[in-house]
Every structure is written in structure tokens, then in C-alpha cells.
A and B are shown apart, each in its own frame.
Chain A
Amino acid sequence: MNGWTGRPAPGGPGAGERGTGGPDGLGEDYLDGNALAGPLSEVFLIDMTSARGRCDSCGAVSAIAEARLYVNAPAMVLRCPSCSGVLLRVRRDGGQAVLDLRGFSYLTIDLG
């Protein structure tokens, strides 16, 4: 596409942002949770993709980085690699991030 610029949009950060972390718009229909590192870095001070979570649906435990991330939706949706249950949703609403973590029974976070 022509006309890209590295400068921010007049509407400020996040205005009209789409396709976050995508495989350049084509190909497979999901990414892995590694691609959540950037969006979650705006909310958490430590990297959350290394956190291990228990799926509230099936009980499988996996790192956020290992789960399946779907980005072609109004929110980014993370699904369990074992049962495909929704683990996490995150979307931006103006200057706010809306984070839905109800798919996890718990998260184990390495504090280093």
C-alpha cells in the first residue's frame, strides 16, 4: 500500500487501529499469544505472556504465549489451545483498555 507514514494519526494513539499483530492480513486465522506482548505491555509493568493460566473450561494450563490469538474481531480474543474456550479478551475503547479475563480460573505470574 502506498501512503504509509510512521507518524501517529491526528486522532491520537490507537485511533482506527486494526489488524494488530496480524500475519500481514492473510494466511492462517490465528496467531499465538506471543503477539499479545505489545498490547498487554500498555497495561502491565511485567511481561504477561509468560504467565501460565488455567482454563476455566477444561482445566488445561498453558502460558498466555502458547494460546491461540484471534485478531480479526472487535476485540483480540485468546483461546485455550486444548478446548478452544475463550481465555481472554482485550480491546481498546478510546483511552481505555478493556480486559476480560473470565476464561482463566487463575494465572500464575513469575515475579523473577
Chain B
Amino acid sequence: MSSAWHIVDVVAVQEETATARTIGLRFPLPVRSLPGQHLDLRLTAPDGYQAVRSYSVASASPPDTLEITVEELPDGEVSPYLVRKLAVGDQLEVRGPVGGWFVWRPEDASPVQLIAGGSGVVPLMAMVRAHDQARHPAPFRLLYSVRDPESVYYRQELESLAGSSSGLAVDYVYTRRAPAGRPVGRLDARILASSVFGPEADPAVFICGATGFVETVSGWLVDSGYPPERIKTERYGGMGGTG
């Protein structure tokens, strides 16, 4: 069995929010990534102790460079290093991109409904970018639940895409603090129903966020008549931030 791990170069870092950072990784060979896939990162301490974490790919259509966006978990073992210390010129050990379940496939012409809780927007952004780059005709809609305006990832790019003819619509739910004139409050079944493609449109649905967020939202959709097999979920284990 050959090792699936390879060493990549950190070629870019960019602050996304006060607690999140996008990291560009250059691979030794051209790499293919499907929108929604993730990378496993393996870090090794001088004593040999290793930790492996999965991070969703945020970018689309690489030749040899992929981007991930990492949210810092305050007591985390790995994410504070990635967000605060890692620098251009460093190297990381990675496996992937991997995953074939939580993936948007452009050959599917269905409308696509994306639902993000906090940092769960990352793999959905890869789908948004792939959709835009392909000038894909399927209508896309993103519902993004986030704590406050400053916690929104990719804000300018999302505004630009939503204001263009790309076929993307974006709705925000602000759970703690909203821009002037916008409501504050958690996502509920009523807001959900008014912010997503209806079941009659038979959308492919992708939900990503913390476990509680994902299970609650998918439950509401099933109760509203969306077929379970049209709903794909990816749960972030801990404090991914449902907003």
C-alpha cells in the first residue's frame, strides 16, 4: 500500500474574518478536486505525536493549487496553529482531495439549494465557484446562517456573484447581530421555508454546519416534503459555529 500522503507548500494566506483564514496549498502535481471534497491535514510534533484534521476545499478548478478556509477553535489543537502561525513558505502533509458523497456534480441539471451554518459555508463555496466558472445553467440558492455581518466568509465575492447573472441567490440569517434594518434571530422552519427552493422544484440540497444545525434543518426539510435522498449533509463535529 503506497502512502496517500504528500507534502504541499503553503503559497498564500488571507484573513477571511477575525477568526478564520484561507490558506492556499500548492501540490507537487496537478490535482483534481470535485466541489464539496475535503483534504485531511496531518501535523507532526517533534516527539512524533500526530494529529489529523479534515478541512473542506473552498476553491474550484485548480491546476495545482487548492484553498481551504480554517476557523480557529479557541481550545483547538490544530486550528490555532493554522490560523495564527502557519506562514507562506511552510509545508503541510495532506491526503486528498477525498470524498464522493457531499459533492455537487455538474452533470446534474437540478436546481441546487445550499444551506450553511457558520463555517459550513466552505464546501458550499466550492460548489458556488464551480457553478460560476462553468457558467452552469442550474439555478443556485444559498441560505447562510451566521452570527453577525463580520463573520461572513467570502462576503464581497458572494455579493458580486449574487448581483450578477450567474444564477446565484443568497439569503442571510443573522443570529446575534444584523446589519441595520435586518432581523436578528435563529433560523426556524418558517424562515427556512421562505428562503429555499420549494419541494416542487425538486432541488438537490446540501447542508453543512455543526451537528445540531444540520440535523435540525434536514429534519424540517423532510417534514416539509423534501425527499431524504435529495438531502446531503456534512456535519462539522464541534464548534463549527452555527452562528
Chain B 46-102 residues near chain A, CB threshold 8 A:
46, 48-54, 73, 75-81, 85, 90-93, 95-96, 98-102
Closest beta carbon of chain B to A47's beta carbon, Å: 3
B154 to chain A, nearest CB (A): 21
B92 in contact with A26 (CB, 8 Å): no
Indicate which residue in B54, B210, B232 contacts A38 across the interface (CB closer than 8 Å).
B54
Interface size on A, residues (CB 8 A): 48
User: CB of B44 within 8 A of chain A?
Assistant: yes
At the interface, is chain A mostly helix, strand, loop or mixed?
A: loop
B48 touches A11 (CB 8 A): yes
Partner of A24, one of B101, B234, B238: B238
Q: In the bound complex, do residue B50 and residue A1 qualify as a contact, i.e. CB atoms below 8 Å apart?
A: no
- Asked if A50 CB lies within 8 Å of chain B CBs, one says yes
- The answer to whether B76 touches A26 (Cβ under 8 A) is yes
Query: How many angstroms between the C-alpha atoms of A3 and B92 in the bound complex?
Result: 13
What string of 1s and 0s marks CB contacts (under 8 Å) between A11-34 and chain B? 101111111111111111011111
Cβ of A1: which chain B residues have Cβ within 8 Å of it? 45, 77-78, 80-81
A10 to B236, CA, bound (A): 31
Do A17 and B42 touch across chains, with their CB atoms under 8 A apart? yes
Chain B residues with CB below 8 A from A65, complex form: 99, 101-102, 232
Q: Smallest CB–CB gap between A40 and chain B, Å?
A: 8
A47 / chain B contacts, CB cutoff of 8 Å: 98-101
Q: Which residue of B lies closest to A38 (CB)?
A: B40
A29 to B16, CA, bound (A): 28
Residue in chain A with minimal CB distance to B79: A24
Contact between chains at B101 and A41 (CB < 8 Å): no
Given A21-B52, A27-B239, A28-B211; A50-B101 close (CB under 8 Å)? yes
User: Given A6-B43, A19-B52, are A34 and B237 neighbors across the interface (CB < 8 Å)?
Assistant: no
Q: A96 → chain B, closest Cβ, in Å?
A: 8
Inter-chain CA distance A9–B235, complex, in Å, is 30
Query: Which residues of chain A have C-beta atoms less than 8 A from B233's C-beta?
Result: 32, 66
Question: Is A7's CB under 8 angstroms from B93's CB?
Answer: yes
Contact of A9 among B48, B76, B240 (CB under 8 A): B48
Known contacts A19-B77, A21-B52, A24-B77; decide if A34 and B38 are in contact (CB<8 Å).
Answer: yes
Assembled-state Cα–Cα distance A106/B233 (Å): 23
Chain A: CB-nearest residue to B70: A24
Q: A5 contacts B5, CB within 8 Å? A: no
Nearest residue, chain B, Cβ from A4: B43
Name the B residues within 8 Å of A19 (CB-CB).
51-53, 77
**Using Cβ atoms and an 8 Å threshold, which residues of chain B touch A11?**
48
Partner of A23, one of B5, B45, B234, B238: B238
Contact present for A32 and B7 (CB under 8 Å): no
A63 at the interface (CB under 8 A from B): yes
Task: List residues of chain B with CB within 8 A of the CB of A25.
Answer: 51, 75-78
Which residues does chain A contribute within 8 Å of B236, judged by CB atoms? 23
Asked if A43 is at the interface of the complex by the 8 Å CB criterion, the answer is yes
- Chain A positions within 8 Å of B77 at CB level: 1, 19, 24-25
Cα–Cα distance between A85 and B37 once the two chains are bound (Å): 27
List the interface of chain B (C-beta within 8 A of A): 1, 3-5, 7-8, 37-38, 40, 42-46, 48-54, 73, 75-81, 85, 90-93, 95-96, 98-102, 210-211, 232-240
Q: Given known contacts A15-B50, A17-B50, what 20 new A-B pairs fall within 8 Å (CB)? A: A1-B81, A5-B43, A17-B52, A18-B51, A19-B77, A25-B51, A25-B77, A26-B73, A26-B75, A26-B76, A27-B238, A27-B239, A32-B235, A37-B37, A41-B95, A64-B101, A65-B101, A66-B101, A95-B1, A97-B1
